[in-house]
């Protein structure tokens, strides 16, 4: 009995891992369904992006699909296109679970984004390795400003304040999707202080 249960659990694990990848035809069909649904449901899908530009980007994406694609890679390719619709209510949900599983080693700080300035600060850190409320200047040589600008491409919205808030709400997933590493060098500035690294 124990062997049967173990085999079922292993099979479920393999199925779950395989489910992270989808075939080219399934991905293409999912993209078509998404765009069709948006065009039918959204009151004005082309208010910020022209129909020809949207269709061209979708056609390019579909033409360049590999035989199979991970859920994460499909999100990376499709979310910035959907974000160009420019509507705060129209966004793709980050595949958070898949991103965090793939990331492996996590950054030892929990960043937060100031929705007024776009600056990155430390909300918490493992063992207080970076003091609370320190401003993160760069991680692994990439400036915080550059990271935030790249993350903005994945969220829609009429106002930058809202888009920065959306990034803040998904910061760990977005960070690990774009900047996961085996180790992290963090340059930061403590409140009312100079630069430090950790």
pLDDT in tens, the chain (198 residues): 223 333 333 333 333 344 489 999 999 999 999 999 998 988 889 988 999 999 999 999 999 999 999 999 999 999 999 999 988 788 899 999 999 999 888 999 999 999 999 999 999 999 989 999 999 999 999 999 999 999 999 999 889 999 999 999 999 999 999 999 999 999 999 987 766 676
The whole-angstrom separation of Cα 78 and Cα 62 is 10
Specify the DSSP class assigned to residue 43.
S
Written as one string, the DSSP assignment of 121-166 is EEEEEGGGSS-TTPEEEEETTEEHHHHHHHHHTT---SSHHHHHHH
User: Is the model's pTM score more than 0.85?
Assistant: no
Q: In 3D, which of 23, 17, 38 has the Cα closest to residue 74? A: 23
Which helix (DSSP H) or strand (DSSP E) does residue 187 occupy?
Answer: strand 186-189
The whole-angstrom separation of Cα 94 and Cα 154 is 9
């Amino acid at each position: 009995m124990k062997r049967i249960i173990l085999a079922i659990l292993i099979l479920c694990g393999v199925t779950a891992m395989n489910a992270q990848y989808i075939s080219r035809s399934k991905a293409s069909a999912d993209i078509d369904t998404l765009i069709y649904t948006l065009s039918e449901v959204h009151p004005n899908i082309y208010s910020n992006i022209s129909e020809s530009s949207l269709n061209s980007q979708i056609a390019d994406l579909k033409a360049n699909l590999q035989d199979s694609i991970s859920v994460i890679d499909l999100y990376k390719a499709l979310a910035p296109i959907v974000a160009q619709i420019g509507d705060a209510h129209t966004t793709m949900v980050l595949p958070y679970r898949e991103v965090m599983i793939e990331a492996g080693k996590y950054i030892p700080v929990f960043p937060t984004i100031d929705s007024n300035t776009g600056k990155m600060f430390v909300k918490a850190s493992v063992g207080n390795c970076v003091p609370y409320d320190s401003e993160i200047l760069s991680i692994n040589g990439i400036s915080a400003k550059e990271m935030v600008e790249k993350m903005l491409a994945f969220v829609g919205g009429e106002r930058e304040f809202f888009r920065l808030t959306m990034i803040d709400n998904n910061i760990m997933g977005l960070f690990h999707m774009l900047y996961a590493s085996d180790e992290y060098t963090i340059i930061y500035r403590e409140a009312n202080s100079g630069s430090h690294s950790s």
